[in-house]
Amino acid sequence: MSVSAPARTPATTGRAPRRAWLIVAIVGLVLLTAASVMVGVADQDWQILTTSRLPRTAAVMLAGASLAVAGLIMQLLTRNPFVEPATAGTMEFAGLGLVLVMLTLPGAPIWLRMLAGTAAALAGSAVFLRLISRLSRGDILGVPLVGLVLGGVVGAASTFLAYRNDLVQSLNAWLTGDFSAVISGRYELLWLSGVATVVAVVVADRFTIASLGHEVATNLGLDHRRAMALGMTIVSVISASTVVTVGMLPFIGLVVPNLVTRIVGGHARRALPWVLVLGAGATLLCDLVARTLRYPYELPIGLVVGVAGGLVFLVMLLRGFDRAH
Amino acid sequence: MISVQHVTTSYGRTVVVDDVSLTIADGGVTALVGPNGAGKSTLLKVIARLLQADAGVVTVADLDVARTAPEVLARRLAVLAQDTQVPVRLTVRDLVTFGRFPHTRGRPTAEDHALVEEAMAHLDITDLADRYLDEISGGQRQRAFIAMVFAQDTDHLLLDEPLNNLDMRHGAQLMQIVRDAADRRGTSIVLVVHDINAASVFADHIIALKDGRVVTQGPPQEVMVEDVLESVFDVPVRVVEVDGYRHAIHLSGRLARPRTG
pLDDT of residue A10: 42
User: For B203, left (φ over 0), alpha (ψ -120 to 50), or beta?
Assistant: beta
Using the Cβ of B48 and the Cβ atoms of chain A, whether some distance falls under 8 Å is answered with yes
Partner-chain residue, chosen from A8, A209, A215, that has the shortest CB–CB distance to B83? A215
Cβ–Cβ contact A141 with B under 8 A: no
Task: Name beta bridge partners: A11.
Answer: none
Q: Facing residues of B192 across strands?
A: B32, B160
Which H or E element spans position B29? strand B29-33
| A214, A218, A267: residue with CB nearest B94 | A267
Q: CA-CA distances (angstroms) from residue B56 to A39, A209, B65, B137?
A: 69, 29, 11, 39
Q: Which residues contact residue A194 at a Cβ distance below 8 angstroms, ignoring those fewer than 6 apart?
A: A62, A65, A66
In angstroms, the separation between the Cα of residue A98 and the nearest Cα of chain B is 34
Whether B70 and chain A come into contact, CB under 8 Å, resolves to yes
Q: What is the pLDDT of residue A11?
A: 44
Q: Please report residues of A whose CB lies closer than 8 A to that of B135.
A: 2, 5
Residue type, A300: P
**Does A324 contact chain B (CB < 8 Å)?**
yes
CA-nearest residue to B45 within chain A is A215
Residue B134: name the closest of B86, B166, B83, B80 by CA.
B86
- Does the bond joining A300 to the residue before it have cis omega, within 30 degrees of 0? no
> What average pLDDT values come out for chain A (325 residues) when binned by 10 residues?
40 63 92 89 80 91 96 95 92 93 89 92 94 84 92 94 88 84 85 95 95 93 94 95 89 94 91 96 94 87 89 85 48
A275 in B contact zone (CB under 8 Å): no
Contact A11 B93 (CB under 8 A): yes
Bigger pLDDT: B165 vs A10: B165
Mutation pick from B88, B100, B158 vs chain A, by most beta carbons of A within 10 Å, is: B88
Taking an 8 Å cut-off on Cβ atoms, the answer to whether A325 and B87 are in contact is yes
Size of interface A-B (CB pairs under 8 A): 100
Kindly list the residues from chain B whose CB atom is less than 8 angstroms away from the CB atom of residue A216.
Answer: 81, 145
Identity of the residue in B50, B80, B131 whose CB atom sits nearest the CB atom of A8: B131
- What is the pLDDT, as a whole number, of residue A1? 37
Pick the closest to residue B202 from B156, B142, B245 (CA basis): B245
Q: How far is B174 from chain A (nearest CA, A)?
A: 20
pLDDT tens readout for residues B189-245: 999 998 899 999 999 999 999 999 999 999 999 999 999 999 999 888 889 999 889
Q: Cβ separation of B75 and A7 shorter than 8 Å?
A: no
Cβ separation A10–B91 shorter than 8 A: no
Q: Given CB atoms, is B76 within the 8 Å cutoff of chain A?
A: no
Nearest beta carbon to residue B101 from set A14, A211, A221: A221
Q: Determine the residue of chain B that is closest to A15 in CA distance.
A: B130
Instruction: Provide, as residue numbers in chain B, all residues whose Cβ is less than 8 Å from the Cβ of A9.
Output: 130
pLDDT at A9: 39
3-class state of residue A173 by DSSP: helix
- The 8-class DSSP code of residue A53 comes to I
With an 8 Å Cβ cutoff, is B53 touching chain A?
no
Domain ranges of chain B: 1-76+156-225, 83-153
Where do the domains of chain A lie, and which CATH numbers do they carry?
59-324 (1.10.3470.10)
CB of A87 within 8 Å of any CB in chain B? no
* CB A72, CB A325: distance < 8 Å: no
Between chains, do B88 and A222 touch, taking CB under 8 Å as contact?
Answer: no
pLDDT of residue A288: 93
Superfamily of domain B1-76+156-225: P-loop containing nucleotide triphosphate hydrolases (3.40.50.300)
* Residue B157, H or E segment: strand B156-160
Q: Summarize pLDDT for B166-184 with one digit per residue, the tens.
A: 889 989 988 999 999 999 9
- Give me the pLDDT at residue A19, please: 84
Dihedral angle of Cα A128, A134, A136, A138, to the nearest 10 degrees: 20
**Distance between CA atoms of A250 and A272, rounded to whole angstroms?**
19
Task: Name the residue among A301, A304, A173 with its Cα closest to residue A245.
Answer: A173
- The closest alpha carbon to A151, from A133, A174, A128, A176, belongs to A128
Q: Contact at 8 Å (CB) between A174 and A247?
A: yes
State pLDDT tens for residues B61-87. Answer: 999 999 999 999 999 999 998 777 777
| Chain-chain contact of B50 with A214 (C-beta, under 8 angstroms) | yes
Residue-wise burial string across B195-209, b where 16 or more C-beta atoms lie within 10 A, e elsewhere: bbbbbbbbbebbbbb
Query: Hey, are the CB atoms on B149 and A265 less than 8 Å from each other?
Result: no
* pLDDT at residue B255 greater than cutoff 60: no
Of all residues in chain A, the one with the smallest CA distance to B135 is A5
Hey, of A3, A219, A225, which one would you mutate to test binding to chain B, going by the most B CBs within 10 A of its CB? A219
Rounded distance, CA B212 to CA A59, Å? Answer: 60
Single-letter amino acid code for the residue at A45? D
